[in-house]
Amino acid sequence: MKPTSFDYVRAETLSDVFAVLAAHGDNARILAGGQSLIPAMAMRLAVPEILIDIAGLADLRRLEVVDGRLRIGALCRHAELLDAVEVEEHAPLIARALPHIAHPAIRNRGTIGGSLCHADPAAELPACALALDASFDIQGPSGQRTVTALEFFQGIYSTNLRKDEILLSIDVPMMEPTGLCFFDEFARRQGDYAMAGLAAGAAVEDERLTHVRLAFFAIGATPIRAMKAEQILEGAAIADIDAVADTVSTAIADEIEPFDDLTTSSGAKLAMMQVLARRALAAFVDQGALP
């Protein structure tokens, strides 16, 4: 369980990153917290020629409010975000998801950008990004671009990021006072990979749900929004949510066929998704009922 030999450089600027990526292409990997990349290298699933350590890029470590959105630098560590009042206040969905990520010692090192770019189908943060309509700020040698979470996640461990690019930060809309959120997952033990999980959000207008987002994870190649179920809930009166709960369950079964994995069948995952959706609706009713 030792990685093969590789070279290592510490980037002092973004230009350093682009220079190494240009010289080594696919054989270079960016090292952020290393909590997924280093185990993959230990198991020799990843065999890069060179690692580019970006820990010194202080600009990627910022957490700030910009134009009504919370901007989270790619190098913010899970434990730092868990301690940050800005996250609890403006992006409580992320605050609720973070304790489910691995274990404390791993949360102390792992970064949000690393988790998003690794794009593990069972990871919590990609689903949160999808549920929050996050936008991804990406820098390449010739400029910057922004993509939505829907565009960013493309497959198992596969994103919209090109070989010569780096994720700088993600922006999430700050939760409105009328906002609702829910996060939960089924895992065999605390910190294990989820068998199925749900990151959900909504807002309340005139005692009705709006902007409903149901982003399931660990059930497909990427986190997946249950858009038919979202449509059923859009405009539903909070007082009558029980009446649509069965329809929501049916819609989820119609639109998403979860993949089997090593331990959990598709049918079991679907049942978990339906339970999670019911829990989300119950949470929305509780939160929406608050004065």
Partner 1 sequence: MSTRLTITITVTVNGEPMTAAVEPRMSLADFLRAEGLKGTHVGCEHGVCGACTVRVDGRTARGCLILAVQCDGLAVETIEGATDSGRLRDLQDAFIDNNALQCGFCTPGMLLAADELLRHRATPSRQAIREHLSGNYCRCTGYQAIVDAVEQVAKRRAGQGS
Contact track, partner 1, 160-199, x by CB under 8 A: -----------------------------xxx--------
Looking at beta carbons only, is 27 or 287 nearer to partner 1? 27
Q: What residue ranges in 188-262 does DSSP mark as E strands?
A: 194-205, 208-217, 224-225
Q: Say whether residue 4 binds partner 1 (CB under 8 A).
A: yes
Query: For the chain, what is the radius of gyration of the CA atoms?
Result: 19
Instruction: Give least dist CB 166 to partner 1, A.
Output: 15
Cβ-based neighbours of 113, under 8 Å, separated by 6 or more: 32, 60, 73, 74, 75, 76, 167, 169, 170
Residue 282 in contact with partner 1, rule: CB under 8 A: no
Q: How far apart are CA 217 and CA 127, in angstroms?
A: 6
98 binds partner 1 (CB under 8 A): no
Buried b (16+ CB within 10 A) or exposed e, 76-96: bbbbbbbebebbeebbbbbbb
Q: Can you tell me which of 22, 42, 66, 237 binds partner 1, judged by CB under 8 A?
A: 42
Using rule CB under 8 A, residue 259 touches partner 1? no
The residues in 105-164 that bind partner 1, with binding defined as CB under 8 A, are 105-106, 108-109
Shortest spacing between CB 157 and partner 1, in angstroms: 16
Contact residue for partner 1 among 51, 72, 131, 277 (CB under 8 A)? 51
**Does 22 participate in binding partner 1 (rule CB under 8 A)?**
no
Stretch that binds partner 1, among 5-13, 125-133, 156-164, 223-231 (CB under 8 A): 5-13
Nearest-10 Cα torsion for 64, 118, 54, 134: -20
Contact call for residue 263 and partner 1 (CB under 8 A):
no
3-state secondary structure of 153: strand
Q: Could you tell me which of 114, 94, 120, 146 has the C-alpha nearest to residue 223? A: 120
Quick one: which segment of 28-36, 177-185, 234-242, 243-251 binds partner 1 (CB under 8 A)? 28-36
Where residue 191 falls (left for φ over 0; alpha for ψ -120 to 50; beta otherwise) is: left
Q: Indicate which single residue of 27, 62, 63, 79 sits in contact with partner 1 (rule: CB under 8 A).
A: 79
Q: Binding mask 54-73 vs partner 1 (x if CB under 8 A, - otherwise)? A: -x------------------
Structure tokens at 63: 């957490």
From the list 8-16, 116-124, 164-172, 277-285, the region that binds partner 1 by CB under 8 A is: 8-16
Q: Is 14 in the site for partner 1 (CB under 8 A)?
A: no
Rounded CA separation 229/212 (Å):
9
Say if strands 166-173 and 135-140 run parallel, antiparallel, or are unpaired: antiparallel
Distance (Å) of CA 224 to CA 101, 230, 232, 255: 19, 12, 17, 10
If the CB atoms of residues 108 and 148 are measured against partner 1, the closer one turns out to be 108
Q: How far apart are CA 280 and CA 259, in angstroms?
A: 22
Binding of partner 1 by 35 (CB under 8 A): yes
Please give the residue ranges that form the binding site for partner 1 (CB under 8 A): 1-12, 16, 19, 31, 34-35, 38-39, 41-43, 50-51, 53, 55, 79, 99, 102-106, 108-109, 189-191
